[in-house]
């Protein structure tokens, strides 16, 4: 389920249409987790409260960003939000955002065309047909990709108010929920619902619809030393090989995957060996990782992320400055969990923020090739280094390895 944050300013009629769609099953691939209002007295807040949806008031874009991160939003939906989001906000937000405009774009759009003003302009122009358009939000006001449109006939006795109401009833409330569902459905098929240029290193563990266990591990790099690496198989294990001369390999050269009987260990550092040795001696995944901590790469203090797969299920862990966290999951057909080192993109040279919250649930398809190719395509072209994916079928497995450097 894609986590949706809805931005509002007024009465919230489109918000209500989305709430109704969530109730009646039209909106099923996403869930509204937060309503953010620019006005403390907006009636949209009442609609949200009646639906049991947390609501907050934000006056600045920085406050909105904080709310989006706090609620774990993966999609932003504008529903009568009366402010233009700045390019700086859209870049910092790094989330897909949608809006609905009360005309057939690109007609009657851009600066100054909003609310009743659009319908006044439509009637003044003497056109015969108007409507509504759902579009993705970008730096150009009303200029993003059009997702859906629906036409509405203009009647001889129309006033701006009559036309506004009919456009809402016949177009906006019909196409917006369906368009949001379509975008959520597409986002659900991606590993990263929130696009990231640099998630760092990441682990996915899970299960295909037919019950095959699987895992994926990827590394990314911003420095020349981090990029001078490739994955290489060593039996059932995976190692990293340097492709250039690097003075310090302590945090970038390790075995990401090791196998111990029917148990597979995946980590982003030399704690792979720590877990392997502990399990071999009768210890546990958790006890092994309690002897380790985050990486000593100040000022980032990169978390150590780890996972272990057994016949019964899988566990994941993240060790960071804020503490040690462990997560345990049973195999659920078609589902998996993603954990990566960094939470969101920041400006160049800024401190990289550690992953926050619980591992993100992702969909796992039956076909390994499809999953592997799609994940490699999703990883940022400039920063991706290597990816390894393995799907199990009983005691055998199929796998695929990607190295950008070879």
Residue from 101, 119, 340, 344 carrying the catalytic annotation: 101
Do residues 119 and 251 both lie within one domain? no
Domain boundary among 139, 154, 188: 188
Do residues 244 and 284 both lie within one domain? yes
On whether the CB atoms of residues 171 and 152 are closer than 8 A, the answer is yes
Asked whether residue 182 is assigned to any structural domain, the reply reads yes
Do residues 176 and 278 both lie within one domain? no
With a CB cutoff of 8 Å and minimum separation 6, the contacts of 290 are 324
Distance CA 319, CA 114 (A): 48
Does residue 193 register a pLDDT over 80?
Answer: no
Q: Which phi and psi (to 5°) does residue 245 adopt?
A: -80, 125
Q: Indicate the range of 89-93, 156-160, 372-376 predicted with least confidence.
A: 89-93
Evaluate the omega torsion of the peptide bond into residue 106 and state whether it is cis, within 30 degrees of 0: yes
pLDDT-based confidence at residue 1 (cuts at 50, 70, 90)? confident
- Mean pLDDT of all residues in 28-53: 96
Do residues 110 and 241 both lie within one domain? no
Q: Domain holding 222: CATH number?
A: 3.60.20.20
Beta strands in 84-175 (DSSP E): 97-101, 129-136, 146-153
On whether the CB atoms of residues 37 and 64 are closer than 8 A, the answer is no
Does residue 111 register a pLDDT over 90?
Answer: no
**Domains held by the chain: number:** 2
pLDDT digits (tens, 9 = 90+) for 235-263: 999 999 999 888 888 889 999 999 999 99
- 135 given a catalytic annotation: no
Asked whether residue 193 is assigned to any structural domain, the reply reads no
Asked whether residue 302 is assigned to any structural domain, the reply reads yes
Does residue 69 register a pLDDT over 90?
Answer: no
Do residues 220 and 311 both lie within one domain? yes
pLDDT at 242: 92
pLDDT at 297: 94
Do residues 209 and 69 both lie within one domain? no
Do residues 213 and 324 both lie within one domain? yes
pLDDT at 251: 87
Asked whether residue 194 is assigned to any structural domain, the reply reads no
Helix-strand-coil percent breakdown of the chain, rounded to 5?
25, 30, 40
Asked whether residue 196 is assigned to any structural domain, the reply reads no
Do residues 29 and 124 both lie within one domain? yes
Does residue 189 register a pLDDT over 80?
Answer: no
Q: What is the DSSP pairing of strand 384-393 with strand 213-220?
A: antiparallel
Structure tokens of 330? 């049973």
- Mean pLDDT of all residues in 265-291: 97
Does residue 50 register a pLDDT over 90?
Answer: yes
pLDDT at 57: 96
pLDDT digits (tens, 9 = 90+) for 310-327: 999 999 999 999 999 999
With a CB cutoff of 8 Å and minimum separation 6, the contacts of 322 are 354
pLDDT at 395: 77
Mean pLDDT of the chain: 94
Asked whether residue 255 is assigned to any structural domain, the reply reads yes
Cα–Cα distances (Å) from 83 to 7, 17, 61, 175, in that order, read 10, 21, 10, 22
pLDDT at 205: 98
pLDDT digits (tens, 9 = 90+) for 211-234: 999 999 999 999 888 899 999 999
Asked whether residue 338 is assigned to any structural domain, the reply reads yes
Confidence (pTM):
0.70
Do residues 184 and 207 both lie within one domain? no
Domain boundary among 166, 188, 210: 188
pLDDT at 332: 95
Cα–Cα distances (Å) from 11 to 16, 17, 44, 144, 296, in that order, read 9, 12, 5, 25, 51
pLDDT digits (tens, 9 = 90+) for 287-298: 999 999 999 999
pLDDT-based confidence at residue 349 (cuts at 50, 70, 90)? confident
Do residues 211 and 178 both lie within one domain? no
Domain boundary among 188, 212, 231: 188
Distance CA 211, CA 208 (A): 5
Asked whether residue 264 is assigned to any structural domain, the reply reads yes
Q: Domain holding 6: CATH number?
A: 3.40.50.170
Structure tokens of 199? 């998630």
Does residue 394 register a pLDDT over 80?
Answer: no
Q: Indicate the range of 70-74, 79-83, 268-272 predicted with least confidence.
A: 70-74
- Mean pLDDT of all residues in 77-104: 93
pLDDT at 103: 97
Do residues 281 and 309 both lie within one domain? yes
Distance CA 50, CA 121 (A): 35
On whether the CB atoms of residues 347 and 315 are closer than 8 A, the answer is no
21 is in which domain, residue-wise? 2-188
Do residues 14 and 62 both lie within one domain? yes
């Amino acid at each position: 389920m894609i986590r949706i944050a809805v931005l509002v300013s007024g009465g919230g009629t489109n918000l209500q249409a989305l709430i109704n769609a969530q109730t009646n099953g039209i909106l099923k691939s996403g869930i509204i987790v937060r309503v953010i209002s620019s006005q403390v007295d907006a009636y949209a807040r009442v609609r949200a409260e009646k639906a049991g949806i947390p609501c907050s008031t934000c006056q600045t874009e920085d406050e909105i960003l904080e709310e989006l991160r706090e609620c774990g939003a993966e999609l932003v939906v504008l529903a009568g939000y009366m402010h233009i989001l700045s390019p700086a906000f859209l870049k910092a937000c790094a989330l897909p955002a949608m809006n609905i405009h009360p005309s057939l774009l690109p007609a009657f759009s851009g600066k100054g065309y909003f609310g009743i003003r659009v319908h006044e302009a439509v009637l003044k122009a003497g056109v015969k047909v108007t409507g509504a358009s759902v579009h993705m939000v970008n730096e150009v006001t009303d200029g993003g990709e059009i997702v859906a449109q629906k036409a509405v006939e203009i009647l001889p006795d129309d006033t701006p108010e009559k036309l506004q109401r009919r456009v809402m009833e016949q177009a906006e409330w019909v196409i917006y929920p369906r368009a949001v569902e379509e975008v959520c459905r597409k986002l659900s098929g991606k590993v990263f619902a929130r696009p990231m240029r640099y998630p760092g290193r990441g682990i996915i563990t899970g299960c295909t619809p037919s019950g095959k266990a699987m895992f994926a591990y990827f590394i990314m790099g911003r420095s020349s030393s981090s990029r001078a690496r490739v994955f290489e198989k060593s039996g059932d294990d995976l190692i990293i090989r340097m492709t250039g001369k690097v003075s310090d390999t302590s945090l970038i050269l390790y075995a990401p995957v090791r196998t111990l009987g029917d148990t597979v260990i995946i980590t982003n550092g030399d704690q792979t060996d720590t877990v392997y040795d502990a399990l071999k001696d009768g210890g546990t995944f958790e006890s092994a990782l309690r002897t380790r901590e985050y990486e000593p790469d100040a000022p980032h203090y990169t978390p150590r992320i780890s996972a272990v797969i057994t016949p019964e299920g899988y566990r994941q862990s993240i060790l960071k400055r804020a503490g040690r966290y462990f997560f345990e999951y049973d195999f659920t057909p078609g589902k998996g969990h993603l954990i990566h080192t960094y939470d969101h993109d920041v400006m160049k040279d800024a401190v990289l923020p550690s992953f926050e919250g619980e591992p993100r649930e992702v969909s796992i398809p039956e076909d390994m090739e499809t999953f592997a190719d799609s994940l490699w395509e999703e990883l940022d072209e400039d920063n991706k280094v290597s990816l390894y994916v393995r799907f199990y079928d009983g005691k055998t497995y199929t796998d695929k390895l990607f190295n950008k450097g070879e």
